[in-house]
Amino acid sequence: MQSERHTDAVVVWAPAKVNLYLEVLAKRTDGYHEIATLMVAVSLYDTLEFKEETAPEIRFTCDHPGLSTGPDNLVVRAAQLLRQRTDRDHGAQIRLAKRIPLAAGLAGGSTDAAATLTGLNRLWRLGLSQAELARLGAELGSDVPFFFAPPAAWCTGRGEQVSPVVLGAPLWFVLVCPQMGMSTAEVYRGLTLPDQPQTGIEILQAVRDGNVEEIGRRLHNRLQPVAVRICPALERVQTRLAALGPAGSAMSGSGSSFFALCRDPREALRIARGFRQAEKAMNQGVFIVRSCS
């Protein structure tokens, strides 16, 4: 996660993620699911700016009218958690420029929470390590710890147990974000656990080798059929992307975003143009992104 310190502010760029592989292994006694997932941070960013506030309070604003800026927001929760655990009464002004679509399976809320821990750690000069911030992040959400170990990681448990993975080569994607969002809880409620879960060994090795063709063949998301059953319009997105001939395509997280894995930036441009032309009447965001460095 990239950050810069200026004279009176800290700025953090919070990346989205995609799941190249997501298997659901079991239902846990705490209500969560045991999963194994291979996540990659990509170059679609929210931007957060942090400034000192003389009063001991958190002032949070966002340019997206559909996003709550109250105490339920993960940014506010992250700031309050950090103050509580470090026994500080610092205040901050936090401004979020939102570009990652909401409820899209791209972990927009989780990455903003990680960025808040990162930004306030620098602003308030707390001196916490990445590992300490990741442990705090795990209390806020299952995906939050991942953003302290980009660009790629193998994540287990409920997603909070993170093992960094070295990418053998940069990866290029076309992200398609339909206007409708998906409820993660609803998707998981509709899931039937597999009798024989996939292991993910092959795609993990392909990512380490930088073998885009093999990664494309091994893309897997156990939640995708459930999301398509709940929202049949998503099948059109998958079908259209696959017809454009990428190395592979799949849904990210619990949806609603899909991605096409591309062989190079020129193919990404071709597929993005082809999808926009074919779906020009549809209200969908289309982004060309690459794995973060």
Residues marked as catalytic: 17, 143
176/208 Cα distance (integer angstroms): 25
Under 8 Å between Cβ of 89 and 126: no
The H or E element containing residue 80 is helix 74-86
Asked if residues 105 and 256 have their Cβ atoms less than 8 Å apart, the reply is: yes
CB 173 within 8 A of CB 42: yes
24 strand-pairing partners: 35
Those residues whose C-beta lies under 8 Å from the C-beta of residue 239, and which sit 6 or more positions away, are none
Alpha carbons 208 and 217: distance in angstroms, whole number: 15
